[in-house]
């Protein structure tokens, strides 16, 4: 299985901040990397697919980059509704695997 490692596991930030979350794959996965946002008690929703493509309806303050083994999700201008947990997920091979998650909290 491909192991996905996210860092940090949690962070504190203020509204308006620029936040970056890292995700590393245990082997090269090209651009087969997706990002999800999950709020408490809710199902995750996709933000970014194919490493850098913004899902329809997702605000442009979210962006993704990277390829191979190293990826990042950036939120430029953090909004109150962005305080949530974020997960990366590889779609290169089965079984699909997720990173351990990053919880973005209010400073």
From the centroid of its chain, how far is CA 84? 11
Q: Is 86 in the site for another protein (CB under 8 A)?
A: no
Q: Is 36 in the site for another protein (CB under 8 A)?
A: yes
Largest CA distance in the chain: 38
Q: Taking the CB of residue 32, how many other CB atoms lie within 10 A of it? A: 18
Residue 73 CA to residue 16 CA, distance in Å, equals 16
Q: Which is nearer to another protein, 1 or 70 (CB)?
A: 1
Residue 75 CA to residue 21 CA, distance in Å, equals 9
Stretch that binds another protein, among 16-24, 67-75, 76-84, 88-96 (CB under 8 A): 88-96
Place of tokens 């990042």: 72
Q: Is 74 in the site for another protein (CB under 8 A)?
A: no
Q: Is 101 in the site for another protein (CB under 8 A)?
A: yes
Which residue in 81, 79, 93 sits closest to 1, CA to CA? 93
Q: Which is nearer to another protein, 17 or 52 (CB)?
A: 52
Q: Is 87 in the site for another protein (CB under 8 A)?
A: yes
Query: Contact residues for another protein (CB under 8 A)?
Result: 1, 31-32, 34, 36, 42-46, 49-50, 53, 55, 87, 89, 91, 94-101
């Amino acid at each position: 299985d491909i192991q996905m490692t996210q860092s940090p596991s949690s962070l504190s930030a203020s509204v308006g901040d620029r936040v970056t979350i890292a995700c590393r794959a245990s082997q090269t996965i090209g651009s087969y990397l997706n990002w999800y946002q999950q709020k408490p008690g809710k199902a995750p929703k996709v933000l970014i697919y194919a490493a850098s493509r913004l899902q329809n309806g997702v605000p442009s303050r979210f962006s993704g980059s990277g390829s191979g083994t190293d990826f990042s999700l950036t939120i430029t201008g953090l909004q109150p509704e962005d305080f949530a947990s974020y997960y990366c997920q590889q779609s290169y091979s089965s079984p699909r695997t997720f990173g351990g998650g990053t919880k973005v909290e209010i400073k």
